[in-house]
Amino acid sequence: MADIFDMTKGELQEFLVANGMKKFRADQIFHYIYKQGITDWDDMVLLPKKDRDILNERLPIYFPVIESQLEAPDGQTVKLLLRLRDGQTVETVLMMHDYGNSICVSSQVGCAVNCAFCASAKNGFVRNLTAGEMTAQMLAFRKAVTPDLHSIVIMGTGEPLLNYDNVLRFMRLIHEQDTFYLGYRNMTLSTSGIVPAMYDLAKEGMPITLAISLHAPNNELRRRIMPITDRYPLEEVLKAGENYFNVTGRKVTFEYILIKNLNCNLSCARQLVHLLGGKNILVNAIPMNDNYDVGLYRPADAEIESFVSFLKKNGIQVTLRREMGNKIQAACGQLRIQRDK
């Protein structure tokens, strides 16, 4: 079934004309949806009644139902659990930063990658999200929380590059002037390292930020944390990341989850310096969110400081991610699993 949130304005114009309506109505409809947050045909009063009747019949709007809304005590993080048309649920998170509000978008229901630190795959992979379902996550925050959106990170549930076509369509859709008019440089896509798709992405002409989940300085340890390493070894992932920088000119970010008694020690830090030293990259160090019982835990502050300081002293550009949402199960998959239980 067609989905208005999946349509470009040009596609909507074609639909309107094919169904006996005026082409210019697309401008009014997009203004209602993307500027006023109106997502019910009957509330779009500038449209003739006969047009609204046709649209209700042939292009019904299903806006996700907010099953749960959690806000961190400091008010800086809000998490929504959304129920989709088929009854599946998906999580999305709004993070308020000094530079503006950023939305963490999910790209799949469940996940097949099965990283050890992540709850997303604990109930398995269900299906890909459509571009419209990703767009609706942004619209849900505009309706429920704030219309002020600065950027997105496709870093929620799922592996975006295993849903390649829908994710690219989504980014192009929200880039359009008549929708969110979001610049590509305000978009970040996070991948576990799907090497062939990384090469494809570099050719798309979209200067988004690519974030690669690294999480270990060698294949043996990375395989324990990320089983996908068996298919795409570290060397191939790094080569694809270097190609992305060479083609796009965009610095690649390497995400590194800091896990107690596993990868947050000076031995790993030394290996990481050897692996990444001299490259034009950024390491984003992320303390483990241990609110969900996956058997992995956050290191002590002193361990984190020692690890990060060693990288900095040895020429690695590194940031320590601000911890947000720990009190509201903001890590991927946690809220959905709680709801299913």
Residues 51 and 104 in one domain: no
- Residues 279 and 214 sit within 8 Å (Cβ to Cβ): no
For tokens 């129920």, the residue is 83
Measured distance CA(245)–CA(93) in Å, rounded: 28
Question: How confident is the model at residue 328, as a pLDDT?
Answer: 46
Per-residue confidence of the chain (341 residues) as pLDDT tens digits? 799 999 999 999 999 999 999 999 999 999 999 999 999 999 999 999 999 999 999 999 999 999 999 998 888 999 999 999 999 999 999 999 989 999 999 999 999 999 999 887 777 899 999 999 999 999 999 999 988 999 999 999 999 999 999 999 999 999 999 999 999 999 999 999 999 999 999 999 999 999 999 999 999 999 999 999 999 999 999 999 999 999 999 999 999 999 999 999 999 999 999 999 999 999 999 999 876 667 899 999 999 999 999 999 999 999 998 766 455 454 555 554 555 54
Residues 110 and 232 in one domain: yes
Measured distance CA(167)–CA(208) in Å, rounded: 12
Residues 45 and 190 in one domain: no
Measured distance CA(319)–CA(299) in Å, rounded: 16
Where a domain ends, among 40, 58, 76?
58
Which residues are registered as beta bridge partners of 213? 255
Residues 275 and 211 in one domain: yes
Residues 261 and 325 in one domain: yes
Residues 9-13: contacts with CB within 8 Å, 24+ apart? 9/176, 9/178
Question: How confident is the model at residue 177, as a pLDDT?
Answer: 96
Which residues are registered as beta bridge partners of 83? 65, 89
| Chain length of the chain | 341
Count of domains in the chain? Answer: 2
77-83 and 127-128 strand pairing:
unpaired
Measured distance CA(160)–CA(177) in Å, rounded: 24
Measured distance CA(118)–CA(285) in Å, rounded: 16
Residues 152 and 40 in one domain: no
Residue 154 dihedral angles phi and psi, to the nearest 5°: -90, 85
For tokens 């390491």, the residue is 283
Domain residues for 31? 4-58
Question: How confident is the model at residue 290, as a pLDDT?
Answer: 72
In three-state secondary structure terms, 328 is: helix
Residues 12 and 118 in one domain: no
Residues 152 and 253 in one domain: yes
- Residues 91 and 133 sit within 8 Å (Cβ to Cβ): no
pTM greater than 0.95: no
Residues 144 and 20 in one domain: no
Residues 17 and 73 in one domain: no
Cβ count near 192 (within 10 Å): 25
Angle at 241 between CA 240 and CA 247, to 5 degrees: 85
Residue 68 dihedral angles phi and psi, to the nearest 5°: -155, 145
Task: Look up the CATH number of the domain holding residue 100.
Answer: 3.20.20.70
Question: How confident is the model at residue 340, as a pLDDT?
Answer: 52
Where a domain ends, among 27, 42, 58?
58
Residues 237 and 112 in one domain: yes
Task: Look up the CATH number of the domain holding residue 48.
Answer: 1.10.150.530
Question: Which positions are catalytic?
Answer: 91, 332
Question: How confident is the model at residue 119, as a pLDDT?
Answer: 81
Residues 134 and 248 in one domain: yes
Which sign does the torsion angle of CA 144, 146, 147, 152 carry? negative
